[in-house]
A and B are shown apart, each in its own frame.
Chain A
Amino acid sequence: MSEVFSILEYAFFRNALAAALLTSLLAAMVGTYIVSRKIVFISGGITHASFGGIGMAYFFGLNPLLGAAVFAVLSATGIEWISQKGKVREDSAIAILWSLGMALGIIFVFMTPGYSPNLMSFLFGSILSVGKAELYLLLAFFILTLAFFIVFFRPVVYTAFDPEFARIMGIPVAFFRYTMSVIIALAIVISIRTVGIILVLSLFTIPQITAMLFTRDFAKIIPLAALWGALGSLAGLFFSYFFNIPSGAAIIFILTLQFLILKGFVMARNFFRRDEKVIT
């Protein structure tokens, strides 16, 4: 146990802890929107498109996260535009974006002279190397998103649930839908550092699905998802450190385990409750 506390003395580990916590809180809000609107596939498209940006940034010697952000925001707003126009089959457009992003990323990474040591960290996450600057960026984006959710909570939910009715009520639906797609894109890119491209979407969905075992109320799913997400991320972080495995895999593994255990618990509870009702 003392070993657990002793690593807290290291600055890099405290940074990692803060990053894991902030990422899971951010994912709790944004992920609840994603899961409620059933746009998990769209978000997957945005995530993988962003890899194209990472590859290009490598090639041109720019900051990879910046490249990822540009690609993610462009594809997110592009998909929202397509879905509002409704002319193209949305899912085929996403599939194209998904594969094109990955292909571009790989092409540019391979064209970049020399070895790219950071590539693995983008695919699998390397939370232990998160620096102060990245932490502040994460904190700033978290605060902005939190403020947006607090101030515009009702229109965000209404435009997600029934955009047509929201429009009749005079809510600027396009503004909220586009703003939310930008927030989704940036939240995903910022979280890539923690869990990596391959698993980032799990961070935005598994805590929500876990929370939805207990409630079907948007406003209550967020705090519950934050709780399960934070618990799983912190446990996953220690797991990752002590067994020396990539942080993304460790965190998602714990989150999934947590879900399965709670699912079993809820099923057992329902089973026994039913029994009680039959008897009385």
Chain B
Amino acid sequence: MSKPLAILENVTTGYFSDIVLKNVDLEIFPNDFIGVIGPNGGGKTTMIKVLLGILPLFKGKVTFPQGKPNMGYLPQISQIDKSFPITVRDLVGSGLKTERSWFPHLSAKQKKQVNQMLDEAGLMSLASKPIGELSGGQTQKAFLCRALINHPQLLILDEPNTFVDKGFEQELYRWLKELNKEMAILLVSHDIGTISPMVKTIACVNGTLHYHPSNQLTEDLLKVYNCPVDIIAHGPVPHRVLKDH
């Protein structure tokens, strides 16, 4: 197995003096597809911020054995001001990391990159629309484009299935499966029923982190680690989620 992309070691962090995450350990390998579950306020988003290096640690460390990887990030949609006057094209362009990132206009090459990305996602017809006029699914797609345009080695998605219907969700997951061939993916979701068959491993974050090296969920995993997710409620596939051990 190759070296990990990122290692969280004994990480304790939070906001001001409140501890949100305690002694979290996690290794992310280049081909990983990790589903992160956990209750509201459990610290999933906080863990992502640690990985992205935008939240200082109280204790522990984050290391990147292969050097700091290129990370693509799709934030939780509730953190975004959708009424901000920015078009889909500019949003996607804001994900381009170049030495010209301060320059007022994108270069011709960068514009082409943005167009290619929009084309791939089927968003071309919406390119000039402000993000406030997109549907929930289109919004997620546009933000996914912003995360992808820089060809990340690690793609971090914070609840990309919020405000998205089932059909759209399936399309999204097919896309992610394809992307996983080229990059590691860390996917936060409440909807364990749908993500479980797709991800390779599961991490449960609830103040601490419990790593489950398979995508099969057991009753005790959920009980012992206090990850209250409603398994039965997820319709047609509960038998695929729960497996007797």
Contact = CB atoms under 8 A, between A and B. Distances in A.
Interface of A: 36-38, 87, 150-155, 157-158, 160-162, 164-171, 212, 215-219, 221
B16 A87 contact: yes
B206 to A, nearest CB: 23
Nearest to A38: B81
Contacts of A167: 54
B86 A218 contact: yes
A38 B102 CA distance: 23
B182 interface: no
B101 A160 contact: no
Given A158-B94, A161-B81, A212-B85, 19 more contacts: A87-B16, A150-B104, A151-B102, A153-B105, A154-B94, A154-B103, A154-B105, A162-B75, A162-B80, A164-B75, A165-B73, A166-B94, A168-B53, A169-B95, A169-B101, A171-B102, A215-B85, A218-B86, A218-B90
A164 B86 contact: no
29 contacts: A87-B16, A150-B104, A154-B94, A154-B101, A154-B102, A154-B104, A155-B101, A155-B102, A157-B86, A157-B90, A157-B94, A158-B94, A160-B84, A165-B73, A165-B146, A168-B53, A168-B71, A169-B95, A169-B97, A170-B97, A171-B101, A212-B85, A216-B130, A216-B132, A217-B130, A218-B84, A218-B85, A218-B90, A221-B85
B2 interface: no
Contacts of B52: 168
Contacts of A160: 84
Contacts of B90: 157, 217-219
B86 A161 contact: yes
Contact of B104 (A37, A153, A162): A153
A168 B81 CA distance: 18
Interface string B109-135: 000000000000000000010101100
B226 interface: no
B15 to A, nearest CB: 8
A36 B85 contact: yes
Contacts of B81: 38, 161
Contacts of B128: 217
Contacts of B103: 154
From DSSP, what is the main secondary structure of chain A's interface residues? Answer: helix
A161 B71 contact: no
A36 B84 contact: yes
Contacts of A165: 73, 75, 94-95, 146
Nearest to B53: A168
Interface string B171-208: 00000000000000000000000000000000000000
Nearest to B133: A216
B204 to A, nearest CB: 25
A210 to B, nearest CB: 14
Contacts of A170: 97, 101
B162 interface: no
A55 B146 CA distance: 49
A158 B103 CA distance: 12
Contact of B87 (A155, A169, A212, A217): A217
Q: Which of B71, B102, B132 has the most CB of A within 10 A?
A: B102
B94 A169 contact: yes
A23 B237 CA distance: 63
B78 interface: no
B66 interface: no
Contacts of B97: 169-170
Nearest to A168: B52
A161 B92 CA distance: 13
Contacts of B133: 216
Contacts of B75: 162, 164-165
A165 B96 CA distance: 11
Nearest to A164: B54
Nearest to A157: B86
Nearest to A32: B85
Contacts of B93: 154
